[in-house]
Amino acid sequence: MNLRDTLCIKDGRLNIGGCDCVELAKKYGTPLYVLDEEYVRQVMRAYLEGLSDYGKYAVAYASKALSCLALYNIVKEEGLWTDVVSGGELYATQKAGIDPKHIVMHGNNKTPKEMKEGVETGVGHIVVDGIDEIDRLDKIAGEVGKKATVLIRVNPLVEAHTHAAVQTARPDSKFGVIIGEEATNAIKTILTKENLIFDGLHCHIGSQIFDYSAFELAVDTMVEFIASLNKQGIKVNTLNMGGGFGIYYSGDDPLFTPMRYAHTVRNLALLLEKSISKHGIEKPFLIIEPGRSIVGEAGITLYTVGTIKEIKGIRKYVAIDGGMFENPRYALYQSKYTAINASRADKPFVQSVAVCGKCCESGDMIGIDIPLQDTQVGDTLAVFSTGAYNYSMASNYNMNAVPPMVIVKDGKSDYIVKPQTYDDLIRNNALPEWFKG
Ligand code: LLP
């Protein structure tokens, strides 16, 4: 567990943002996503503070971790930028009033519609992800009648030690153009395009990374590449290093605090400065794109314990009223989680159980060996570090409703995502004419 001021045990129960979790479960029902506003803001401020000495920088929150209007409001208030990866995310940022100039638009296969929306909205950067996107984007920008400012996504071939599904800089990757000749040629092509303005480079080496030497190597590699571009007369204004900073989920994962993130990016920026002077390039505008680390540990999910099934000598299953429809990360990545019985939070952890969901498949688990207190039917179970890539990857599998999300602060709570109803589940169903007989 990685507890903190706003996530603590109080009067024997789990408390988040000054709210008793058992009371939250009663008031809003379960499953329930809960987001600690204070922690979100603290991490955002830490990133800004960590880069402040570097001077020319932006922190673009990666929407894919958790996208909703309330969060974009916080992003705006704290002075962050936003990265989006679909027309839907872009739409939500605009509904929340994010300045288009502060938006970085990604996607390894942006549809023509999405490119058009990006150009029309006037996003600050569109990140060109591949060579054949260049022509398409140039043509679309021409049709819209606006120039698109672009970065190019470069694969720096720096391996990050993380799950293969979230590694992005191996030679065999669908993302980006390979650093060196391929990327240089792509940039030269961009420079010939009438409707594109080349502004710089982007890279993202992966997600949930603890080994910062991979970032350090990526920084040096990118600066060296900028130097080689400069020698060919190509100016690079912006260097976007992507996201990927890890969070605590369980076991031996490092324990993070906002201060630690500030420290990490301060070191990265120092390293960048060193590399800049070593290679003699002009200081680029630096962008980072953290997602998971801003919302991940800020979020918990509350469940009500249902069936408990013990298979003697094999395992004990504790079933909750959620599952892979609201947290698919075990099913996808065998991710590990930490949990607590929020109703008996001060009691000792006496068992290791499989926390399973209610979906119709055996892989529907939150974890197979989660330490837990004595737990009874009806208890409130809290799973930690679910703020990132849970709600954003939720589905209606088995026609389960995506749970609502509440935000908590100083003992107050309110919805930021309202509950889905059964009617919502069939809202877009349609019956063709010939069914109506
Ligand atoms: N920038 C780019 C271009 C990215 O592709 C990503 C994440 C980020 C920034 C933010 O990375 P973060 O700071 O959140 O690590 N669904 C997976 C994670 C996929 C991450 C994809 N890209 C999971 O649940 O672990």
Question: What CATH number corresponds to the domain at position 414?
Answer: 2.40.37.10
Predicted local distance difference test score (pLDDT) of residue 329: 98
Contact 279, 221 (CB under 8 A): no
- The predicted-structure confidence for 265-299, as pLDDT tens digits, reads as follows 999 999 999 999 999 999 999 999 999 999 999 99
Q: How far is CA 73 from CA 82, 95, 182, 279, in A?
A: 11, 10, 39, 39
Q: Does a structural domain hold residue 395?
A: yes
Is the pLDDT at 360 greater than 80, yes or no? yes
Last residue of a domain, one of 295, 317, 346: 295
Q: Does a structural domain hold residue 393?
A: yes
Closest residue by CA, ligand 1 atom 24: 389
CA of 360 to the centre of ligand 1 (A): 28
Quickly state the pLDDT bin for 68 (edges 50, 70, 90). Answer: very high
Verify that 254 and 116 share a domain, yes or no: yes
Give me the mean pLDDT over the 164-182 stretch: 83
Predicted local distance difference test score (pLDDT) of residue 158: 87
Task: Report the DSSP pairing between strands 32-36 and 238-240.
Answer: unpaired
The reply to whether ligand 1 has any atom less than 6 angstroms from the CB of 175 is no
Verify that 195 and 154 share a domain, yes or no: yes
Quickly state the pLDDT bin for 165 (edges 50, 70, 90). Answer: low
Give me the mean pLDDT over the 138-153 stretch: 98
The reply to whether ligand 1 has any atom less than 6 angstroms from the CB of 295 is no
The reply to whether ligand 1 has any atom less than 6 angstroms from the CB of 202 is no
Give me the mean pLDDT over the 317-339 stretch: 98
Last residue of a domain, one of 237, 270, 295: 295
Q: Does a structural domain hold residue 141?
A: yes
**Average pLDDT value over all residues in the chain:** 96
The reply to whether ligand 1 has any atom less than 6 angstroms from the CB of 336 is no
Verify that 109 and 251 share a domain, yes or no: yes
Predicted local distance difference test score (pLDDT) of residue 167: 62
CA of 224 to the centre of ligand 1 (A): 25
Predicted local distance difference test score (pLDDT) of residue 166: 60
Closest by alpha carbon to 129, among 202, 234, 225? 202
Verify that 228 and 304 share a domain, yes or no: no
Predicted local distance difference test score (pLDDT) of residue 211: 85
Q: How many CB atoms lie within 10 A of CB 158?
A: 22
- Ligand 1 atom with least separation from CA of 127: 3
Beta pairing partners, 245: 209
Verify that 193 and 222 share a domain, yes or no: yes
Is the bond preceding 290 in cis, omega lying within 30 degrees of 0?
Answer: no
- The predicted-structure confidence for 376-418, as pLDDT tens digits, reads as follows 999 999 999 999 999 999 999 999 999 999 999 999 999 999 9
The reply to whether ligand 1 has any atom less than 6 angstroms from the CB of 389 is yes
Verify that 247 and 334 share a domain, yes or no: no
Please report the sign of the dihedral spanned by the C-alpha atoms of residue 331, residue 336, residue 342, residue 343: positive
Closest residue by CA, ligand 1 atom 22: 207
Whole-model pTM? 0.97
Closest residue by CA, ligand 1 atom 8: 243
Q: How many CB atoms lie within 10 A of CB 328?
A: 21
Q: Does a structural domain hold residue 62?
A: yes
Contact 67, 395 (CB under 8 A): no
Closest by alpha carbon to 218, among 208, 230, 229, 205? 205
Domain with 198 in it: what CATH number? 3.20.20.10
What angle, 0 to 180 degrees and rounded to 10, lies between the N-to-C axes of helices 181-192 and 213-231?
Answer: 50
Distance separating alpha carbons of residues 350 and 28, to the nearest angstrom: 29
- Classify each residue of 108-122 as buried b or exposed e, where b means 16 or more C-beta atoms within 10 Å of its C-beta: eebeeebbbbbbebe
Residues recognised as catalytic: 360
CA of 26 to the centre of ligand 1 (A): 33
Q: How far is CA 171 from CA 168, 178, 203, 349, 372, in A?
A: 9, 8, 14, 44, 42
Q: How many CB atoms lie within 10 A of CB 402?
A: 19
Burial class (CB in 10 A: 0-12, 13-18, 19+), 432: exposed
Closest by alpha carbon to 165, among 331, 369, 385? 331
CA of 345 to the centre of ligand 1 (A): 32
Judged by average pLDDT, the poorest of 28-32, 103-107, 150-154, 251-255 is 251-255
Predicted local distance difference test score (pLDDT) of residue 74: 98
The reply to whether ligand 1 has any atom less than 6 angstroms from the CB of 83 is yes
Q: Does a structural domain hold residue 437?
A: no
Q: How many CB atoms lie within 10 A of CB 197?
A: 14
Number of domains composing the chain: 2
CA of 13 to the centre of ligand 1 (A): 33
CA of 433 to the centre of ligand 1 (A): 43
The reply to whether ligand 1 has any atom less than 6 angstroms from the CB of 166 is yes
Domain range for residue 343?
7-30+299-386+388-418
Predicted local distance difference test score (pLDDT) of residue 122: 98
Quickly state the pLDDT bin for 172 (edges 50, 70, 90). Answer: confident
CA of 161 to the centre of ligand 1 (A): 14
Verify that 264 and 166 share a domain, yes or no: yes
Q: Does a structural domain hold residue 429?
A: no
Verify that 223 and 144 share a domain, yes or no: yes
The reply to whether ligand 1 has any atom less than 6 angstroms from the CB of 207 is yes
Contact 43, 298 (CB under 8 A): yes
Q: Does a structural domain hold residue 431?
A: no
Predicted local distance difference test score (pLDDT) of residue 1: 86
Verify that 347 and 238 share a domain, yes or no: no
Closest residue by CA, ligand 1 atom 6: 243
Last residue of a domain, one of 295, 317, 342: 295
Contact 301, 382 (CB under 8 A): yes
User: What ranges in 52-196 are assigned the alpha helix state H?
Assistant: 69-77, 87-95, 112-121, 131-144, 181-192
Q: Does a structural domain hold residue 425?
A: no
- Ligand 1 atom with least separation from CA of 207: 15
Burial class (CB in 10 A: 0-12, 13-18, 19+), 34: buried
Verify that 321 and 179 share a domain, yes or no: no
Q: Which residue has the tokens 């395992």?
A: 315
φ and ψ of 57, to 5 deg: -155, 165
The reply to whether ligand 1 has any atom less than 6 angstroms from the CB of 390 is no
Predicted local distance difference test score (pLDDT) of residue 151: 98
Verify that 25 and 46 share a domain, yes or no: no
Verify that 359 and 241 share a domain, yes or no: no
Closest residue by CA, ligand 1 atom 7: 207
